[in-house]
Amino acid sequence: MSEQGQGGGYPPPPPPPPIGGYPQYNYPPSQPSSTFPDNAQSTSNVSQDSSTSYNYHMINMGTELIPTTQHYQITPSTNPLQTNLQNDPYQLTIEISEKTQPESKTIHYGEAPSIQPRRYTQKEIKLSDGHFVYDCPVPTGLTTKVPLKEKEFDKVRYTACTCDPDDFEREKYTLRQKTYERDTEIFIVITMYNEDAKLFARTFHGVVENIRELCERDRSDMWKKDGWEKVVVCIVSDGFEEINISTKAYLSAIGVYQEGVVKKEVNNKPVTAHIFEYTTQLCLDPENMKPLEVHTPIQVLFCLKEENTKKINSHRWFFNAFGKILEPNVCILLDAGTKPGKKSIYHLWKAFDNNPSIGGVCGEIVAMKGKYGKNILSNPLVAAQNFEYKMSNILDKSLESVFGYITVLPGAFSAYQVGPLASYFLGEKLHNQKLNDQKIKTGLFEANMYLAEDRILCFELISKRDESWLLRYVKSASAETDVPDKIIELIKQRRRWLNGTFFASLYAISHTFNIYRSKHSILRKILLSIEMFYQTYNLIFSWFALGNLYLIFYILGNSVAQYANWELIIYNVLKFIYIALIVFQIALAMGNKPGSTRLAYIFSTLFFAFIMIHMLIAIGRITYISIKDSQVKIDGLNLKSVQNILSDFYFRNIVLSLLSTYGLYLIVSLLSFEPYHMISSFAQYMLLVPFYVNVLNIYAFCNIHDLGNKRRSQEKKIDVPEDVDEEYEKVRSILLDPKTRNDLQRQGETKERQEEEQKESNAKFRTYLVSS
């Protein structure tokens, strides 16, 4: 029995054809398949008496063959390879005729076999300038649900790119918007790694709502009913093996992605990026994954990178590859999971429209609070970050915007009028250790500096030679983002932020004089110099933050201890615990990864919070006693009253100090008409101040050698059906069934992961033993 006999669950071979052949049969129209087997055998000969279907993959012939759902065979009387190679080496025409398989008279009982026979056709694809480009039909179930039926909505264009993003234009690749001769006003990029479908859907739904709002601006000269033609949404996923299964299913469900047409190499050249272009009219609800009736067309460009080359490389594809082709006026950066607020994209664009000298803007990033603010009320970590984000927007961003230099335009939600500079992408070379023509210095300073590459970009923009770009904060544009709700996740995130911020700030401060080579006015250069002095002060203060916090604890404890012996005992015990916790944090940070010592970090955070409670009580008691014993007499708002306040030691050093810090938070929040975070998040933030200062800083600086950007664990792959409509139905079932989505998230751990956990367990034992 042959390999394709009845063993292994395969269907039996067909019986020999009857005398005279089979009667002609007309198949109903069907959709092309989306599967092209990567391991198809290369061949240069076709058997003259072949009676079975083959998948051909012609090497170095200038042509790629795509299978579809109908069953075709080579005509026995022709030899297409020999005929066409004499005429055109870049085009291969195969003459095919259709035959059918007779119905077997054998009676079968039971269920149909799990592996069903499929029908294919060999379809010729002529390479365009040596590039593999194919217009794939979208599933019929998708096209019947949308109002517009033009070719743009019936075909998804696939391009197998084999070059570096910097060579995209030089290698004569192009995009559909260029073919349609459309001008691109706004170019939006959504970068992702392996975020699940819910996170991606949240971002994509927010973008769709913003584009629909642009199309409803009938009075605008720029935006009207067809305003969607001026907006392109680019989705860049970092790694073919890393993309989340549910996210890939979401993209398939809206017609953007088809698994089967993906090629791994073209003419012996490895594919670097799989590019899908489609104008979708569907958007799924982020909560239940059901289609929403939002039929605004969205021009989507999906770039699935073959290798995991980090976010900065994704931005290089966006700016240097696609941006050069589309030549947009405004580029907007979003991270998967960040949902832009209503009209936010319009407000970002309007900032550039009003002031051509603006090079970059950012909006307000808001922590996602959940329904009725449940995330803040139930989790003190989320509440503390909500307060941190709010005060940063109210105080830092607003002040920096006045000077014209925003120290960081967050990559999760920002916009640029000009493409990034060459120095922005230098960080990619530092991390990947790809040394080309020139030797690149890869010290820890430079490597950590480019962990915050967006900060480097901001400084390079405002200090660019012979330019006068400004950076602005747009309060009316906002975006919601998920913040870490677990201590370990927050530690990992802030390690990268703190190290990158520190070294990027050192770089900016040390290159302050670059500002004077720009074309800014004298007044602007003075303002920027003042801001750089302010940044220097902040950097020095943050460097000594750990010691300053302990000094505050020490002074407050000594001050309170003099009132009673029991307070002296409590202070001495807490002082010992404080010092022990600091030493313990150093041991944890240098010996273990946070994930393996979760309980130790929770224990440390709780003890630091208890110490902070003691400090707040001490502040309250000292303030009360100081005011009670104070000799200050305030007689109206006059000079004598001010002199009385400043001459009193306790009132001046304690009460005024408290008002200038905590009172400032309340005053500016009221002036901004946003006092709610003071009520819901202020207390949680105050309790976690020692955690921010001690735990996060110690872990970050003890791991400056760690340049990796750890992400979520990788997901396993699923087999995708060969039929387009069957594939579409399967991805819909994945998205609509909560149990299926949850099962996809709970994939088994790999052997490597188990070995890593064993190493961490051993390291944890060592740390606890040394600390004890």
* Active-site residue list: 454
| CB 298 within 8 Å of CB 254 | no
Angle between helices 522-543 and 545-561 (to 10 degrees): 60
With residues binned 3-state (H G I as helix, E B as strand, rest as coil), the percentages for the chain, rounded to 5, are 50, 15, 40
Residue 18: both structure tokens together: 């009857």
Query: 51-56 long-range contacts, Cβ below 8 Å, gap at least 24?
Result: 51/17, 53/119, 53/120, 54/122, 55/120, 55/122, 56/94, 56/122
The DSSP bridge partners found for residue 366 are 480
Residue 699: both structure tokens together: 């872990």
Q: Sheet with 298-305: list strands edge to edge.
A: 132-137, 155-161, 273-280, 298-305, 231-237, 186-192, 330-335, 413-416, 358-367, 470-481, 339-340
| CB 236 within 8 Å of CB 303 | yes
Structure letter (DSSP) for residue 38: T
Rounded to 5 degrees, φ, ψ at 480 are: -95, 140
How long is the chain?
772
Q: What is the DSSP string of 190-216?
A: EEESS--HHHHHHHHHHHHHHHHHHHT
| CB 552 within 8 Å of CB 615 | yes
In sequence order, which ranges of 413-486 are alpha helices (DSSP H)?
Answer: 426-432, 444-449, 453-462
In sequence order, which ranges of 23-149 are alpha helices (DSSP H)?
Answer: 80-85, 140-143
- Number of Cβ within 10 Å of residue 376's Cβ equals 24
Residue 114: both structure tokens together: 């799990």
The DSSP bridge partners found for residue 234 are 189, 301
In sequence order, which ranges of 170-322 are alpha helices (DSSP H)?
Answer: 176-179, 197-215, 245-253, 310-316
